[in-house]
């Protein structure tokens, strides 16, 4: 039986039980979960191993790549600039990034980048894992690209391109990369253990990612054959996973859609800013109005990349997914958050003033709504 470390308020003992069951019944390898309510930590748990060989225990300060859970952190940075009046979500992207006007994109607004409606879920030209580490290459290709569908008409999950698109706007407006802006404006002042572009000095704390076995009958070629071209561009150009993300080069680069490294405690705090009206630990990062803007739904639709198989219609706000009728982030349809490939999650519920950070290293086969995450969310709301 896996030993669970950390602390948990008695009221939230169901979260501890769900976390234990993730190991005993849901194939967890190593993981951590942090829950905050009213800006106070009510559960902070970790356990298991930081490597598939079971040689390194998961420690209180173990870092792990959280994949697309990073996207909500990037959105926070963009909303900070908007709150200061430096970035207008309704302004054309090209007003900040002139090269972006190519390919008929001159009128695409910033909000279409944040809500995955820019028609740039991926690139048409072959893209290698090494290309993802080259910021100038990726942003120049995206600036020159023609959209894969009419921008603004519906969402198509920008799995990797989101980070370059929103990140380049942040860089053009602030003069700083996403990683530097985050460090100087958010994680540094708040003392949070989260980075986009991880220093080599932190490698000893990083958990090794591992893929769980794919579900029976999931033949990759068959799946790709059924995909919309926008989905193939987003999810198969390049095919990318745990093996590549365990490499030091991935950790050093800034790939703001997918390579944030952090603890569950840091993820809960970063989403906790949104759950607590824009403030955290006595520091105000956003106005309450900015938090409301962040969760403005841009219209429900069947996402072009995730497709009907994801559960029908979904709705993306400005950088976050809404919980909606499927309850991805609990019973409040206006709660919001972001999942990371394979299981991780950040959640914000301003009505309940609750945030959750869940991180792990055994990646399940799902892009979102992993059973381990859903069990933890159910336990949190059962305690409220």
Q: Which tokens hold the place of 167?
A: 């990140």
Q: Out of 7, 68, 287, 323, pick the active-site residue.
A: 68
Handedness of CA 63, 69, 72, 74 (dihedral sign): positive
How crowded is the C-beta side of 316, counted as CA atoms within 13 Å? 30
CA separation for the pair 171, 150 (Å, rounded): 26
CA separation for the pair 222, 263 (Å, rounded): 36
Instruction: Answer yes or no: 68 catalytic.
Output: yes
The residues that are catalytic are 68
């Amino acid at each position: 039986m896996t030993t669970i470390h950390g602390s948990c308020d008695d009221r939230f003992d169901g979260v501890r039980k769900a976390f234990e069951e993730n190991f005993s019944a849901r194939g967890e390898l190593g993981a951590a979960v942090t829950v905050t309510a009213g800006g106070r930590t009510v559960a902070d748990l970790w356990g298991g191993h930081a490597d598939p060989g079971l040689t390194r225990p998961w420690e209180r300060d173990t870092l792990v790549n959280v994949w697309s859970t990073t996207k909500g952190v990037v959105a926070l940075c963009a909303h900070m600039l908007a709150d200061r009046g430096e970035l207008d979500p309704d302004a054309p992207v090209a007003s900040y990034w002139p090269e972006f006007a190519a390919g008929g994109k001159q009128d695409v607004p910033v909000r279409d980048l944040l809500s995955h409606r820019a028609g740039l879920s991926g690139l048409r030209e072959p893209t290698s894992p090494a290309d993802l580490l080259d910021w100038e290459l990726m942003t120049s290709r995206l600036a020159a690209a023609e959209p894969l569908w009419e921008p603004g008409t519906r969402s198509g999950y920008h799995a990797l391109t989101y980070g370059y698109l929103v990140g380049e706007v942040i860089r053009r407006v602030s003069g700083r990369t996403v990683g530097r802006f985050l460090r100087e404006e958010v994680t540094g002042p708040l003392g949070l253990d989260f980075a986009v572009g991880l220093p080599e000095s932190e490698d000893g704390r990083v958990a090794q990612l591992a893929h769980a076995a794919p579900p029976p009958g999931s033949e990759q070629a068959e799946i790709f054959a059924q995909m919309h071209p926008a989905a193939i561009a987003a999810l198969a150009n390049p095919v990318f996973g745990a093996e590549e993300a365990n490499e030091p080069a991935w950790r050093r680069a800034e790939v703001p859609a997918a390579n944030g490294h952090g603890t569950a405690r840091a993820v809960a705090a970063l989403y906790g800013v949104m759950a607590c009206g824009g403030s955290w630990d006595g520091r105000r990062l956003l106005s309450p109005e900015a938090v409301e803007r962040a969760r403005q739904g841009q219209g429900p639709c069947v996402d072009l990349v995730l497709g009907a198989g994801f559960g029908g219609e979904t709705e993306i706000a400005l950088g976050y997914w809404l919980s909606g009728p499927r309850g991805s982030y609990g019973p409040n349809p206006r709660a919001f958050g972001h999942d990371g490939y394979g299981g991780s999650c950040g959640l914000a519920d301003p009505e309940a003033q609750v945030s959750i950070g869940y991180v792990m290293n055994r990646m399940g086969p799902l892009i979102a709504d992993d059973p381990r995450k859903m069990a933890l969310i159910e336990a949190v709301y059962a305690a409220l």
